[in-house]
Amino acid sequence: MNSLSSRLLVSVSVLLLFFFGATTAVLDRAFTEAGEQARQDILDGHLVGLLAAAEPDETGRLVMPERLREPRLERIGSGLYAEMRAVDGTVLWRSRSALGFEIPAGASLDLGEHRFTRETLADGTPLLTLSLAVDWELDNGASQPYVFKVAETLDGFNAQVAGFRRQLFGWFAAVALTMVLAFSMLLRGLLKPLRQIETEITEIEEGDRASLSGQFPTELKGVARNLNLLIDSERARSDRYRYTLDNLAHSLKTPLAAMRALLNDREGGDFSRRYNEQIDRMDEIVRYQLRKPAASADQLVLVPVPVEKEVARLIDGLRKVYRDKQPEFDVRIEKGMQFRGDTGDFLELAGNLLDNACKWCARRVRIAIVPSSGRSAAASGMVLTVADDGPGIPQEAADALLQRGMRLDESTPGHGIGLAVVKDIARSYGGQLVIQQAADLGGAEIIVSIPPVSAG
């Protein structure tokens, strides 16, 4: 999750989920308690009705009338039940609605105790019950203890609670979704300056802008100012580098011209031609090293380099240099392949590897360039592989060859820095170099992997 807006949205969503979950639990608990209190008040009203309806008979025993004013107590299975017991638990009267049911006696009560509790019928049906123990005083002055009890099933109450919970969850889910959408739209506006910085940096990389604009919020002005200072410092450093190489090139120009003139005066066309080729190559190297910092000073950008075109130019030049050997080139480059970087860097990478392969091959040289990590050919990453059918490179000598000045054969022309240069350039782009044996050709196979500039 690399996106800052995604992280904020997920964080807010988690907080909303926690907050609404806690709120839902609190409201659900409050509604349940309020519902139970309302049920208790209703049962208390039924209990008072029973006390008002009870009358002693001729023998002094307390009895209930045949018909009660509450119709639910007269309807079998209505869910509302009532009974009257003696203190020893003997049932003295039970409502018609409780026909076929055995209302739980519950715990014994003290006289005057009023108890509201949850109980369960024999078939598992939950009940809310309200019990009252009274000491009934008769007309003759004697008193008799009784326990009055009313009970109601929780089916209706549970249905109300379930309906309330559905509405509560539905409304909270709608509110949470609306808040997340609103916060997402708010984030787009708040993060717009960051996207502007990203766009302007891309324009600087592509050479369309010299520096970042100053139109940013206060919190980002310091970032923009420091980035501009860094860009200006990099340009100044590149200018100094360019001026130093310019002086070096100017200093070498005159001795090279003098060497060319002296060689042209000598007899022996083949001798003069071969040395002129080396002088031309030295001159081209000087020009490349001079162009490299100049290009960096003009724009801080990794431009797309057409790989096929540049490899074709390199191979054409190597055919002339190694015309006596006449190496056969097997080129395998994905169509439209591009390298995002400095053209001179790519020529140094491919040129050094191809030059080494031509130098050591028996006859065949293969170069293959494909995108890295399965990306498109226009992506910046690439895997460059150069192999030959020469004697190869022993594995124990591979690491040593990556050091400047190290060579396997001192009799072969060269300075021993080609592979070290390739390794340094690859590392400057975040890549790596691997030396192994070519399975099909039998000689050395060198693989240079350059990752994409952006991981996104």
**Within-domain flag for 455:** yes
The CATH code of the domain that includes 12 is: 3.30.450
Please state the separation of Cα 85 from the chain's center in Å.
Answer: 69
Top-ranked range on mean pLDDT: pick from 103-112, 256-265, 288-297:
103-112
Residue-wise pLDDT for 38-60, tens only, equals: 888 989 999 999 888 888 887 77
Please say which residue of 144, 160, 176 terminates a domain: 160
| Residue 456: per-residue pLDDT | 39
The CATH code of the domain that includes 359 is: 3.30.565.10
Are 35 and 111 spatial neighbours (Cβ–Cβ below 8 Å)?
Answer: no
**Within-domain flag for 83:** yes
**Within-domain flag for 273:** no
**Within-domain flag for 34:** yes
pTM: 0.45
| Residue 310: per-residue pLDDT | 92
Six-digit token string for 278: 């080396």
| Residue 368: per-residue pLDDT | 94
CA distance 148 to 114: 10
Task: For residue 386, name the pLDDT band (cuts at 50, 70, 90).
Answer: very high
Residue-wise pLDDT for 59-73, tens only, equals: 778 888 888 888 888
Residue 55, strand partner residues: 63
Residue-wise pLDDT for 168-199, tens only, equals: 888 888 988 898 888 888 888 888 888 888 88
Task: Tell me the residue range of the domain where 22 lies.
Answer: 4-160
Please say which residue of 100, 127, 160 terminates a domain: 160
Residue-wise pLDDT for 208-243, tens only, equals: 788 888 778 877 778 888 888 888 877 777 777 776
**Within-domain flag for 199:** no
CA distance 35 to 21: 21
Identify which has the larger pLDDT, 9 or 258. Answer: 9
Please say which residue of 112, 134, 160 terminates a domain: 160
| Residue 367: per-residue pLDDT | 94
Task: For residue 150, name the pLDDT band (cuts at 50, 70, 90).
Answer: very high
**Within-domain flag for 195:** no
Q: How many domains does the chain have?
A: 2
Q: What is the mean pLDDT of residues 378-382?
A: 67
**Within-domain flag for 171:** no
Range name among 102-116, 315-329, 330-344, 402-416 with the lowest pLDDT average: 402-416
**Within-domain flag for 408:** yes
Residue 114, strand partner residues: 132
62-66 contact pairs (CB < 8 A, 24+): 62/92, 62/136, 62/144, 62/146, 63/93, 64/93
